[in-house]
Amino acid sequence: MRKHVNNEKGITLVELLAAIVLASIVMLLVYNVLMAGTKQYKNQLEKNNQLTEISYALKMITKDIRKTEKPQIISSSQIKLNDVNYSKDGNTITRNGVVIASSIKRFQVTRDNIKWVIEIESTNQISGKTGKVEKTEIYLRNEDD
């Protein structure tokens, strides 16, 4: 009689390949989830930065308008406030030539008697689509004209 020795201390090549394939699939799924999270984080960060820039620009313009006795609209995208000029140059808003907001699609200033309306619309740098639109209305007191 022959004795059959069953030595099952190791793993077979097929088992090893199956384990590698399963581990690869799991690693790909984890990688895709991480990449989607990173992409979403970048998009949200850009949107937040755009909103911060636009809010900062609106705050500066509003403050300067309120300090000016006779603010002037030079064009729909350019205003003069005493010694301060705001204008849209390309895709930026500048204050006396210094960029205060970038990736701007539209900067529009309108006036109706004592009411000033300022609208700023940004573009998303990653997708190129329209980003945030911020609008503020300013009512001036003691306006002569």
Return phi, psi of residue 122, to 5°.
-105, 170
The answer to whether residues 103 and 91 touch, using CB atoms and an 8 Å cutoff, is yes
Task: Answer yes or no: pTM beyond 0.85.
Answer: no
| pLDDT, tens digit (0-9, with 9 covering 90-100), for 100-123 | 998 899 999 998 888 889 999 988
**What is the Cα–Cα distance from 32 to 27, expressed in whole angstroms?**
9
pLDDT of residue 16: 93
Closest listed residue to residue 135, CA positions, set 70, 73, 75, 57: 57
Return phi, psi of residue 36, to 5°.
-65, -40
Q: Is 136 left (phi over 0), alpha (psi -120 to 50) or beta?
A: beta
**Residue 98: is its pLDDT beyond 90?**
yes
| pLDDT, tens digit (0-9, with 9 covering 90-100), for 46-87 | 888 888 989 999 999 999 988 888 888 888 889 998 889 999
Matching residue, tokens 């989607």: 36
Return phi, psi of residue 113, to 5°.
55, -110
| Buried/exposed 61-95: b ≥16 CB within 10 Å, e otherwise | beebbeebeebeeeeebbbebeebbbbbeeebbbb
The answer to whether residues 104 and 123 touch, using CB atoms and an 8 Å cutoff, is yes
